[in-house]
Structure 1
Amino acid sequence: MADDAHIEEPGPADEAVARALRDAIVSVEAAVARVHEFSAEIFELVGAPGGGDAVDHHNALTRVAGLLDATGQLRATDWESVRGLGDVLADRAGRLRAHTGEVLDGLAADAPAQDRVACLQQAVETDRLGETLQLLVLVEDSLNLWQRLRLARIRTTEPDRLEHECAAIGTTLAGRVERDVGLLLRARARLASYAALKPFELVRWLSTARVKKDIARLRADLDDVAAALGSAAERALEAEDPSVAENLAELGNPVRAVSGALGDSARTLGGRAVGAGSTGVGKLGRGLHRVAEPRRRPGGDVPLTTAPDA
């Protein structure tokens, strides 16, 4: 059979696997926008320098997959142009997962507040936790595109191996999705655990502009990754402890965070501990906020210290 011959119509097994490969990642737009400036730095960080740019790889694979979808043909020259990417992509995905796991292990849930803040800043700013997860999404989608092309190639040139390869690809894909969703859930739980700090610690902690920026960045990255992972992430999040989502919603909002941390005490005070809506905070809430305010010179309004704005 000629290399450029029309590909045989897919059967039920390979059609199902091809569909699963297409649907595993819903969108990579957010990932591309987030990591296009950082991919080389992150690959260096995880021990996978060189080997080409992640966005370029994805663009090349998208082009070839688009031609396959439009014409029903996979030309030998097109396949050869991307054939060598499979091992590169699999290696990078594994390294990105390993790095993510190590960073999450460093976010100790039982350390003092000051140490935990330092760990979070290290994870976000130095270890690039959010960007690593976003880059994993992009690499995984590239690998799924490559597997689709490989499946089409096998269907054309080695049809006797098609059933075996479909089973192998399907099993591998399921394992990759499970690991990626698992990392997402771990990251959400670790970040959410910061909302369990004592009220005074939490207000002081969230008063720092730099910390609030780190939280916002990481929360946005986790939301983007969840959206990209589609139905697999949706099912996992439905089974997630509801307190995780609640705590993530509180982080970055000192008023809500303190209200949640005070819990029954706030309700015992008849809601006067923290005011509702746009009215701000009540007496106790204002007292807690003053913990985070800069000290002032006696008799004057000029702060002695200010929270860092970086």
Structure 2
Amino acid sequence: MTDDEVNTPSDGTDNLPAPSEPAPGEVVVSAQPEGLLVGGDPEAVESYLQRLAENAGYAVQVVGLDKASLGNATGLAASAASILGQSAKFVQLHPDSVKAIHAERLVPGTHGFNRMMTRGPDGKFLRQLQWKETNVNPAKLMSAQMLAVQIALKTAISEVEDAVQRVESKVEEVLRLAQASRSGDVLGDRLSLERMVNYLEKHGSFSDTDWDWISSIGPGLNRTVEQLRQHALATLKTFDPSRPIQDRAEFVVNAVENQQLGETLSLLVVAEESLFQWQRLRIARVEATEPQHLQKVLDDARELLAHQMAADGDLYRRAQTVLDAVARTEAIDGFRLWSVQGLTRDLPKLREDLDRFAHARRAQALEWSEIDAPTPKEALQAAADKASVAATQALGAATEGYTAVSNFFSKTTREGSKLFGKRRSRDQPGEE
């Protein structure tokens, strides 16, 4: 097979293998806004995923779409999974990574199913990849959307149990700080939704009574998520980079102890995970009872995912900017020993809370600026240097002043002498 050869039937037609039967050496891909659905020959899939990881630039999150991850998938989600075969994968990519792999032509440009079989002599994919779009009906295309959105909602949050443990004893306090007054408990709602999702994955459907019981939780969770995020942003906005180090150290203490910033981020993660679980139930409910509205509900869930990801990314970047500004010190700050020690002690804790938040949201963790903790000795030297400069400036000013006064008196003396000489000449009689 040549570098750019694509496996096509000998009659020259585009009659590709049946959608449910990926051919040996074939990769099937459906590019969705939430990520890539990938399936086909297991060895070919692994080779393709390796190429993606090499070119993505950001960490690539791969989720295997097996029985454990799909549960008792029915309807459209099961249909899409069958097209991808036994090695089906869902690949989450950072938006920047999507641009990069599109530039390398590693993914097709459509949201349908595409097949590729370009291989080299060593069995690896070559640089130039060529794709053939699989002709499927609109229901099959919607099935790809259905599967991608459901898996994206399921995997949007990681390690939520850690967040639960960090915040479980402070839920009411954090909600009070965020002014998130709502009926019910965030952790209690999470347990209810988790049980319902497990029931759905086990049985493939749930009753009208179950939906009536759970349906009102979603809007409340949406409000709670926004209130928690706004509380975190409001806490960060109280920071003034122009304030002295003792005020910056006080900001960190207030953010950690009084405003519960770390706990707020943990509870935000829990609330978002519950909101995404509720969306999964909503989609399954609409598919089963009102399929004519399914496309609109899928679009709405996609918008929610994109909004939450963007908002959390903005929050994390703002926090990095603020905490890096907090960490900036000058040598003279060494005189504020307790403030410097407080920053050295408390700031890393707050940074850890933020990095855990980024990890839970599967975001790329950013690099933090080093904390330069000046010592009293460095402060003394800085003060001496400043004093030396001030003394030099004062001496210069004094010298300039003395010179000016001296010049003034010298000029006055000369002018007085001239005046005295003229007057004496007028008073003495001239020689006759």
TM-score, scaled relative to structure 1: 0.72
Alignment of 1:24-173 (within 5 A): 24-173=156-305
Deviation at 1:145, TM superposition (A): 0.3
46-55 vs 140-149, which deviates more?
46-55
Distance 1:199 1:61 in 2: 54
**What's 2:377 paired with?**
287
Q: Output one character per residue of 1:93-141: Cα deviation in whole Å (capped at 9) or x when no partner.
A: 1111111111111112221111112222222211111111111111000
88-97 vs 116-125, which deviates more?
116-125
Structure number with greater Rg is 2
The reply to whether residue 8 of structure 1 matches residue 142 of structure 2 is no
- Which amino acid counterpart does residue 304 of structure 2 have in structure 1? T
Deviation at 1:153, TM superposition (A): 0.3
Deviation at 1:77, TM superposition (A): 3.0
Distance 1:92 1:84 in 2: 13
- What SS does the corresponding residue of 1:74 show, helix, strand or coil? coil
157-166 vs 106-115, which deviates more?
106-115
Distance 1:108 1:120 in 2: 12
Distance 1:143 1:193 in 2: 33
Contact 2:168/2:187 (8 A) holds in 1: yes
**What's 1:270 paired with?**
none
Contact 1:46/1:96 (8 A) holds in 2: yes
Distance 1:30 1:199 in 2: 39
Deviation at 1:81, TM superposition (A): 2.5
- What SS does the corresponding residue of 1:207 show, helix, strand or coil? helix
- Residues 290, 83 of structure 1: alpha-carbon distance in 2 compared, 3 angstrom cutoff: farther
The reply to whether residue 183 of structure 1 matches residue 315 of structure 2 is yes
Q: Output one character per residue of 1:73-93: Cα deviation in whole Å (capped at 9) or x when no partner.
A: 223333223211011101101
- What SS does the corresponding residue of 2:75 show, helix, strand or coil? coil
Aligned residues: percent identity? 32
Q: Output one character per residue of 1:220-251: Cα deviation in whole Å (capped at 9) or x when no partner.
A: 21121011011xx12xx4xx5xxxx241xx34
Total equivalences in the alignment: 242
Distance 2:225 2:350 in 1: 20
Contact 1:30/1:224 (8 A) holds in 2: no
Contact 1:7/1:74 (8 A) holds in 2: no
Q: Which has the higher strand share?
A: 2
RMSD, aligned α-carbons = 2.3
Contact 2:76/2:146 (8 A) holds in 1: no
Deviation at 1:199, TM superposition (A): 3.1
Distance 1:99 1:44 in 2: 10
Q: Which has the higher helix share?
A: 1
- Residues 166, 50 of structure 1: alpha-carbon distance in 2 compared, 3 angstrom cutoff: closer
The reply to whether residue 17 of structure 1 matches residue 149 of structure 2 is yes
- Which amino acid counterpart does residue 220 of structure 2 have in structure 1? V
- Residues 213, 33 of structure 1: alpha-carbon distance in 2 compared, 3 angstrom cutoff: farther
106-115 vs 82-91, which deviates more?
106-115
- Which amino acid counterpart does residue 186 of structure 1 have in structure 2? R
Contact 1:40/1:49 (8 A) holds in 2: no
Distance 1:93 1:35 in 2: 15
Distance 2:230 2:243 in 1: 23
Consecutive unaligned residues of structure 1, counting only runs of 5 or more, are 1-5, 252-256, 262-284, 292-310
53-62 vs 198-207, which deviates more?
198-207
Deviation at 1:290, TM superposition (A): 9.3
Distance 1:217 1:246 in 2: 12
Contact 1:86/1:146 (8 A) holds in 2: yes
Deviation at 1:160, TM superposition (A): 0.5
For CA contacts below 8 A with separation 6 or more, give which structure has more relative contact order. Answer: 1
Contact 2:236/2:322 (8 A) holds in 1: yes
Distance 1:15 1:72 in 2: 14
- Residues 16, 190 of structure 1: alpha-carbon distance in 2 compared, 3 angstrom cutoff: same
Distance 1:221 1:85 in 2: 27
Distance 1:86 1:41 in 2: 22
Deviation at 1:171, TM superposition (A): 1.2
- Which amino acid counterpart does residue 63 of structure 1 have in structure 2? R
Distance 1:36 1:288 in 2: 44
Distance 1:138 1:146 in 2: 12
**What's 1:303 paired with?**
none
Distance 1:57 1:170 in 2: 22
Distance 2:190 2:211 in 1: 14
**What's 2:341 paired with?**
207
